[in-house]
């Protein structure tokens, strides 16, 4: 596998993107759903799937092996930790 290196000279324009803490956004949405009696954007199935992926990722990190993700609504998946992580200084 080859690597591509790019060099650039001159000014860089970086747009300012507003950032907000994700847990705060989630909590605000949850409260809004309760107050306005609306269904949340995600439900218990999504929460279950997130936990399944996180658990598989944790097991893969500990074992260094592929770990199947169980109970994901969209079908079986496998989480694999990269065998090597390269840092380019």
| 48-64 pLDDT tens trace | 888 888 888 899 999 99
Cβ atoms of 53 and 61 within 8 Å: the answer is: no
The whole-number pLDDT of residue 85 equals 47
Per domain, the residue ranges of the chain are: 22-79
List, for residues 12-46, the tens digit of each pLDDT value. 777 888 788 888 988 999 999 999 999 888 878 77
Q: Is 56 exposed, middle or buried (0-12, 13-18, 19+ CB in 10 A)?
A: buried
The whole-number pLDDT of residue 32 equals 93
For the segment 6-13, the average pLDDT, to the nearest whole number, is 74
Cβ atoms of 78 and 67 within 8 Å: the answer is: yes
Nearest in space to 73 (alpha carbons), one of 55, 54, 47: 47
């Amino acid at each position: 596998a080859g690597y591509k290196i790019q060099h650039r000279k001159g000014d860089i324009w970086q747009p300012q993107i507003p950032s907000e803490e994700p847990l705060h956004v989630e909590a605000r949405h949850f409260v809004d759903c309760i107050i306005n009696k609306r269904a949340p954007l995600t439900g218990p199935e999504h929460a279950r799937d997130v936990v399944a992926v996180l658990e598989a990722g944790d097991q893969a990190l500990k074992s260094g092996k592929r770990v199947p993700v169980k109970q994901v609504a969209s079908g079986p998946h496998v989480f694999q930790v990269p065998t090597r992580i390269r840092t380019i200084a």
